[in-house]
Amino acid sequence: MWNNYPCQSGPVGKYLQIAKADYTRAVLAAMAEANATITRAKAQAAQIALIANATRSAIEMLIKAAGANATEAARLAELYIYLSGLREVAQTGNVQIVAISGGAGQAVPVIPHAMNKHLAAVLVTVCLWGMA
């Protein structure tokens, strides 16, 4: 691309060399950024797959330990995913989570912020106890 210019020497040649260097640097930077983006995307996909497989395994173990039928198994899976989401929200920081226990007219305890990181384990235990 750059080799067909007649004025490769002198002042014009100097500017041509600078232009070549700038072009090469821009192309290499773009290629490096593209490779980094692809690498990050592959790592994120692998992370999602690991989390999905771990979640599936945990739900399967929970269902097996509870000896649940199909309806209960679906409910346990739903609760597990829901509570995992609550745990993620609680870990973000300044969050208040309200847990409703039982039907209408019952007290609504507010779980203090300091306890939020342990919320999922407590609620899973309470939910499983309620199913027994």
Q: In this structure, which amino acid lies at residue 47?
A: Q
Predicted local confidence at residue 35, as pLDDT: 97
Predicted local confidence at residue 36, as pLDDT: 97
Q: Please name the residues in contact with 68: beta carbons below 8 A apart, sequence gap of 6 or more.
A: 75, 76
Strand (E) or helix (H) holding 112: none
Q: List residues bridging with 98 in a β-sheet.
A: 110
Residue ranges, the chain, pLDDT below 70: 1-12, 93-132
Segments making up each domain of the chain, as ranges: 1-67, 73-132
Predicted local confidence at residue 126, as pLDDT: 46
Q: Please name the residues in contact with 97: beta carbons below 8 A apart, sequence gap of 6 or more.
A: 86, 89, 90, 110, 111, 116, 119
Predicted local confidence at residue 45, as pLDDT: 96
